[in-house]
Amino acid sequence: MDIYRAHVLVCGGTGCSSSGSATLIDRFNEKLAENNLDKEVKVIRTGCFGLCEAGPVVIVYPDGTFYSHVKPDDVDEIVTEHLLKGRKVEHLVYVDHSTHEQDAEKSLDEINFYKHQHRIALRNCGVIDPENIDEYLAMDGYKALEKALTTMTREEVIDEILKSGLRGRGGGGFPTGLKWKFTYQSQADQKYVACNADEGDPGAFMDRSILEGDPHAIIEAMAIAGYAIGASQGYIYVRAEYPIAVKRLSIAIDQAREYGLLGKNIFETGFDFDLNIRLGAGAFVCGEETALMHSIEGKRGEPTARPPFPAVKGLFEKPTMLNNVETYANVAQIILHGADWFASMGTEKSKGTKVFALGGKINNTGLVEIPMGTPLRTIIYDIGGGCPNGKKFKAVQTGGPSGGCLPESLLDTPVDYDNLIAAGSMMGSGGMIVMDEDNCMVDIARFYLDFIVDESCGKCAPCRIGTKRMKEILDRIVEGKGEEGDIEKLEELAQTIKSTALCGLGQTAPNPVLSTLKFFRDEYEAHIKEKRCPAHHCKSLLQYKIDPEKCRGCTACARVCPAEAITGTVKQPHVIDVKKCLKCGSCMEKCRFGAISRE
């Protein structure tokens, strides 16, 4: 292997790719060659570093300098200054949002964003080149598979996973070891392992980043699972919207086959295992396990009632063990370091770590992995850097369309499966969206229901019709046509849907409404009774007004108003005709005297 004196890591995650990191890589290679550095410095495209907000992100090793928001034109400077002369390019060094510190000497682990994190599932993301199996091997890759196949019985593998306390990261939190055990116990001529990479929560991208940044970890874990339960074939079901993940996974599978880590007689133990990728086609419900299996079978992705559970009768009617991507991402580490090591992290009933996709009104948008039990407040303020522009925090949403919104008063809740449920939300797959004072909670609830109405497969009436009814009520509330009794109607519908829907989608669909009703009931009431949106978000409830005291009669507002709603003579106070006003906000932007207000 060639020895390089420095490595330039360029983030090739989806966020940074979207902001042009591929061009950066080309530019680096070009510039390094021009300066005859191409034999000394190696450029590596990695998966997501996590701090997507700062993208495109570049890290230079051995010193670990963290450059953020790097543009193609900055590459010259990094090459000629840093790589050629050893002088860091100070003005490109990452600025910490929470401390406003820009410290070129600080290593990655000392930056606030990373300091509180603990990376197991994301350990290789942003560290290795995901398209090169040798880099994975250099990070102890496939050692766990070797250990399991050559030194452990199938029962010992299952036992280790059981003892570790690992629970499903796809949302349900079912003990992973138990699921393996049940499938192991099923008798059949053929069994399957499957990986759920459908990642349906709109606003979450943990699984995507793992697949893009460390695909071999999933392949290795699935092979271990195949050995444990007695399956020789696995399927990975990936959302079609994830082209980079699919590509890296395909490359990884090919490389693993080439190295004999997939295929026949792996590690000379007689164990055969192979993997295939299947693509989803844009249906949220296919994340539900029975629907996912129907989709792999080439059918409509409609859920079916359980039992029979997949462990007994799953894919192609055979016993099937389905786990989420992040669940698998922990497996090799548990086999290598032991169940006790894993169980030493986290809380009593939730072991290990959890990855969250932190987004919305938060400074450090990105991916974070924290030990279970970390308080929400630490995640949002210490890691996330709080809300931007000095706005006031209002709520944090976890669990996606099945979850709930928690208010400021519950920010000290330690994050784990049971505490989040007790608080009125749920862990979910890892979406964590922060909302500030400008977000209307009724509108957010409506947003989630809109999603559900779109995505309901329509098989059962409570979900198909009930969620539509709920959405109609919410539509009318945000339009200022809410009626006395609407809240009670919502609650009644919610209870019926929860208890009668066929699958998890319907059963959890009312949660965003119920949690916002619980914690932000006053916002609902303001909409219904006072026809007022406290967040000044809902358009129909806004009123634009001109303060005659402040108005100088400059006519600027009247000239921009698309509805000719503003009248008045020059140098005289103007007035807005509320009946004509379209609530476009143009007048308010134009007024230089602050005479126009919105409420």
Ligand X SMILES: Cc1cc2nc3c(=O)[nH]c(=O)nc-3n(C[C@H](O)[C@H](O)[C@H](O)COP(=O)(O)O)c2cc1C
What is the contact surface with ligand FES in residues (CB under 6 A)? 11, 13-16, 48-52, 55, 57, 203, 366
Cα(162)–Cα(184) distance, integer angstroms: 13
Inter-residue contact 325 to 225 (CB < 8 Å): no
- Which of 155, 454, 585, 599 is the binder for ligand SF4 (CB under 6 A)? 585
In the complex with ligand X, the residue whose CB is nearer, 241 or 486, is 241
For 76-120, what is the HEC assignment? HHHHHHHHHHCCCCHHHECCCCCCCCCCCCCCHHHCHHHHCCCCC
Inter-residue contact 388 to 399 (CB < 8 Å): no
- Residue 309 has what DSSP assignment? P
Cα(136)–Cα(138) distance, integer angstroms: 5
Bin 451: left if φ > 0, else alpha if -120 < ψ < 50, else beta: alpha
* H or E element that contains 228: helix 215-229
Residue window 427-456: x/- pattern of binding to another protein, with contact defined by CB under 8 A = ----x-xxx---x----x--xx--x-----
Q: Which residues inside 198-227 make contact with ligand X, applying CB under 6 A?
A: 198-200
- Which of 47, 50, 130, 170 is the binder for ligand X (CB under 6 A)? 170
Tokens 């410095």 sit at which residue? 41
Q: Which residues inside 420-439 make contact with ligand X, applying CB under 6 A?
A: 429
Residue window 257-296: x/- pattern of binding to ligand X, with contact defined by CB under 6 A = ----------------------------x-xxx-------
Burial class (CB in 10 A: 0-12, 13-18, 19+), 377: middle
Question: In sequence order, what DSSP letters do the residues of 380-439 get, joined into one string?
Answer: IIIIT---GGGPPEEEEEESGGGSEEEEGGGTT-B-SHHHHHHHTS--TTSEEEEEETTS
* Shortest spacing between CB 333 and ligand X, in angstroms: 15
Cα(395)–Cα(411) distance, integer angstroms: 9
Q: Which residues inside 187-226 make contact with ligand SF4, applying CB under 6 A?
A: none
Cα(435)–Cα(539) distance, integer angstroms: 18
How far the first Cα of the chain sits from its last, in Å, is: 66
Residue window 455-474: x/- pattern of binding to another protein, with contact defined by CB under 8 A = --x-----------------
Enumerate the β-bridge partners of residue 366. 358
Per CB under 6 A, 555 contacts ligand SF4: yes
Q: Which residues contact 219 (CB under 8 A, 6 or more apart)?
A: 249, 252, 253, 256, 261, 262, 275
* Shortest spacing between CB 129 and ligand SF4, in angstroms: 40
Judged by beta carbon distances under 5 to 8 A according to partner kind, the member of ligand FES, another protein, ligand X, none in contact with residue 53 is: another protein
Per CB under 8 A, 597 contacts another protein: no
Per CB under 8 A, 520 contacts another protein: no
Per CB under 6 A, 310 contacts ligand X: no
In the complex with ligand FES, the residue whose CB is nearer, 193 or 387, is 387
Judged by beta carbon distances under 5 to 8 A according to partner kind, the member of ligand X, ligand FES, ligand SF4, none in contact with residue 544 is: ligand SF4
Judged by beta carbon distances under 5 to 8 A according to partner kind, the member of ligand SF4, another protein, ligand FES, none in contact with residue 298 is: another protein
Per CB under 6 A, 42 contacts ligand SF4: no
Residue window 486-525: x/- pattern of binding to ligand SF4, with contact defined by CB under 6 A = ---------------xxx-xx-------------------
* Shortest spacing between CB 468 and ligand SF4, in angstroms: 11
Inter-residue contact 10 to 58 (CB < 8 Å): yes
Span of 28-36, 133-141, 159-167, 201-209 interacting with another protein by CB under 8 A: 201-209
- Look up residue 446 and give its amino acid: R
HSE-CB at 485 with a 13 A cutoff on CA atoms is: 1
Per CB under 8 A, 281 contacts another protein: yes
- Which of 22, 33, 138, 240 is the binder for another protein (CB under 8 A)? 240
Residue window 375-414: x/- pattern of binding to ligand X, with contact defined by CB under 6 A = ----------------------------------------
**Nearest-5° angle of CA 147, CA 348, CA 327?**
45
Cα(258)–Cα(262) distance, integer angstroms: 8
- Which of 42, 97, 169, 394 is the binder for ligand X (CB under 6 A)? 169
- Look up residue 272 and give its amino acid: D
Which of 257, 507, 272 minimizes the C-alpha distance to 399?
507
- Which of 53, 160, 198, 326 is the binder for another protein (CB under 8 A)? 53
Tokens 């007790």 sit at which residue? 422
Per CB under 6 A, 168 contacts ligand X: yes
Binding residues vs ligand X (CB under 6 A): 168-172, 174, 196, 198-200, 285, 287-289, 322-324, 327, 429, 503-505
Binding residues vs another protein (CB under 8 A): 14-15, 18-19, 52-53, 55, 201-205, 208, 240-242, 278-284, 295-302, 316, 357, 359-361, 365-366, 397, 400, 431, 433-435, 439, 444, 447-448, 451, 457
Binding residues vs ligand SF4 (CB under 6 A): 285, 303, 456-460, 463-464, 501-503, 505-506, 544, 546, 551-557, 560-563, 565-566, 574, 576, 581-587, 590-591, 593, 595-596
